[in-house]
Structure 1
Amino acid sequence: MADLAGIVNVNEYEILAKQRLPKMVYDYYASGAEDEWSLKENRRGYESIRFRPRVLVDVSNVDTSINVLGFKISTPIMVAPTAMLKMAHPDGELAVARAAAAAGTIMTLSSNSTCSMEEVAETGPGLRFFQLYVFNNRNFVVELVHRAELSGYKAIVVTVDTPRLGRREADIRNRFDLPPHLTMKNLEKLNTMSSKRVRTLGLETPSSSRGSVVSQKDRSLTWKVAPDCD
């Protein structure tokens, strides 16, 4: 089995993850929807980027820092929101928050995290954004934003490209569900509200907390809602 000490490039983390993670968990992180054309195009897009070499330039002191929304970070690499990280490691989002802070860059915490935004904030100083889905229950959305503000998150990253999830075939084959000992901590109240509503209507409760969350996203979301968000 590969060892962390032997890793020399980013791609080798994927190999190590495939060796160590349960298949259902690895496939969730690594796969895309349908025939994975978007995933392939994203990879091709990155592979098409070329650095233009320059010679006879003073590189004795190299500064890779940039400003993002007025915040200076050490490198033009940030941590994107990734859901349910405790499936991969017991520390989950807490470990990623500590690593991002140590690297001097931004961590964007997923709404679907398995640690609450408050728990992540308690890991110590760090520059953090919060990724937000817009749910039908606007009061709950406002509550999430207020919690993020109180916890020191510096920006809200609104996700607008998933009004409906793509057909994730790997998850279907694996019968993916969040392991029963884990919950999406930021959305526990939303799931409770959903369960109550489903029981009130006499409908069948969704088979998973993830399915419940997906069903409550506002699929009618357009630019027209902007005036309501003042």
Structure 2
Amino acid sequence: MTLRTYEAAAKGRLPGPVWDFLAGGSGTESMLTAGREALDRIRLRPRCLVDVSRCDPGTELLGARLAAPLGIAPMAYHRLADPEGEVATARAAGEAGALLTVSMFASRTLEDIAAAASGPLWLQLYWLKRRDLLADLVHRAEAAGFRALVLTVDAPRVASRPRDAANGFAVPAGIRAVNLSPEVMAASHGSRDGESAIARHSMEQFDASITWDDLAWLRELTSLPLVLKGVLTAEDAELAVKHGVSGLIVSNHGGRQLDFATSAPECLPEIVAAVDGRCQVVLDGGIRHGADIAKALCMGADAVLTGRPALWGLAHSGAEGVAGVLRLLIDEFEEVMALMGAPTVADFAPSGVALPTCCRT
């Protein structure tokens, strides 16, 4: 099995509009390939005559031990890919020793996901106009054993996604964001020709007025670490540190938000330099091979997240498919460790990559 095998199988099994929802991007869809192209331009610089008879890919992220510096990015409605949804994904992530970031629009309850998980869980949030709903999710996540909150900051509204509009995409009947009230999610289920229900729902429910000052309210709700997802500039990274965040996820939202943005891998070095070790940094964008993990570590990331491949595995064969995707990436990473002369995660350093001009600080 390869990731392409999982992708092809998922595309063949999922209804066309669902596949387009999972695979599509915003605007011209230029960002769907930007991260992948940036990673492909980065070359590895291996060292020789290093004892790599035993390689240990293990690491820690916000105090949680991981089998490798790898996690699953937040994605909504896993039941679009498999009836067990996020419960299956959680079992697979635990089996692989990987992090699972659960979307606030998960199609299984936080409690059911936590009961199935044996690895660390983070909860992703969009800032809703209804702060009482946010507070309820935060308290439930903390009670269920989630380890951190991830606030998505690059989506004051959902960008125009032409595939979803062309399909009049709405969340199918029988699948819903079960951790939020039906009335709040109603707009996401109303199909209209030429319009995305996902975009309509975001315009109705997302609070586009929030600023850095609002983070204090969220931090006062809980002792859980706060991670910001979607930071793409050194300026915002510096502000994030000043506002006490514990981590940043450098992400261009899988190519689904700002079209023609700088890709996440291109932004990573300047953000790492800006935070200067004051918070942890995770790369999310275009991860398709174990070598991508190595490249991210050399550029200063503490870990990476992968998104769509996990859903490909889920559509292919449920929890077994997700576990297969994660094992594939971890196995590839371990091979790269040996061939790079880097027996531990700490051995990856800036000297391990040759960066193109676009990725240099």
Normalised by the length of structure 2, the TM-score is: 0.56
Query: Closer, same or farther in 2 for the Cα pair 1:214/1:85, shift >3 Å?
Result: farther
Q: 2:25 maps to what in 1?
A: 32
Give the partner amino acid of 1:220: S
Q: Which runs of 5+ in 1 are unaligned?
A: 1-6, 196-203
Per-residue deviation, residues 169-210 of structure 1 (Å, max 9, x unmatched): 1111122111101111112x2x42576xxxxxxxx9982674
Q: 2:183 maps to what in 1?
A: 192
CA contact (8 A) 2:58 2:69 kept: yes
CA distance in 1, matches of 2:54, 2:46: 17
Q: Which runs of 5+ in 2 are unaligned?
A: 192-196, 221-361
CA distance in 2, matches of 1:94, 1:84: 11
Of stretches 205-214 and 178-187 in structure 1, the one that deviates more from structure 2 is 205-214
Query: Closer, same or farther in 2 for the Cα pair 1:49/1:186, shift >3 Å?
Result: farther
Task: State the percentage of identical aligned residues.
Answer: 37
More strand by share: 2
Of stretches 91-100 and 54-63 in structure 1, the one that deviates more from structure 2 is 54-63
CA contact (8 A) 2:102 2:123 kept: yes
Q: 1:199 maps to what in 2?
A: none
1:223 and 2:212 matched: yes
CA distance in 1, matches of 2:32, 2:71: 19
1:207 and 2:190 matched: yes
The equivalent position to 2:9 in structure 1, one of 11, 16, 24, is 16
More relative contact order in 1 or in 2 (CA 8 Å, sep 6+)?
Answer: 2
Query: Closer, same or farther in 2 for the Cα pair 1:39/1:124, shift >3 Å?
Result: closer
The equivalent position to 2:140 in structure 1, one of 135, 141, 147, is 147
CA distance in 2, matches of 1:205, 1:20: 23
- 1:28-67 correspondence to structure 2 within 5 Å: 28-67=21-60
CA distance in 2, matches of 1:23, 1:34: 19
Q: CA deviation at 1:99?
A: 0.4
Give the partner amino acid of 2:53: S
CA contact (8 A) 2:172 2:189 kept: no
Give the partner amino acid of 2:217: D
- Partner SS for 2:60: strand
Give the RMSD, CA atoms, in angstroms.
Answer: 2.0
Give the partner amino acid of 2:37: R
Q: CA deviation at 1:38?
A: 1.8
Normalised by the length of structure 1, the TM-score is: 0.85
Q: CA deviation at 1:124?
A: 4.2
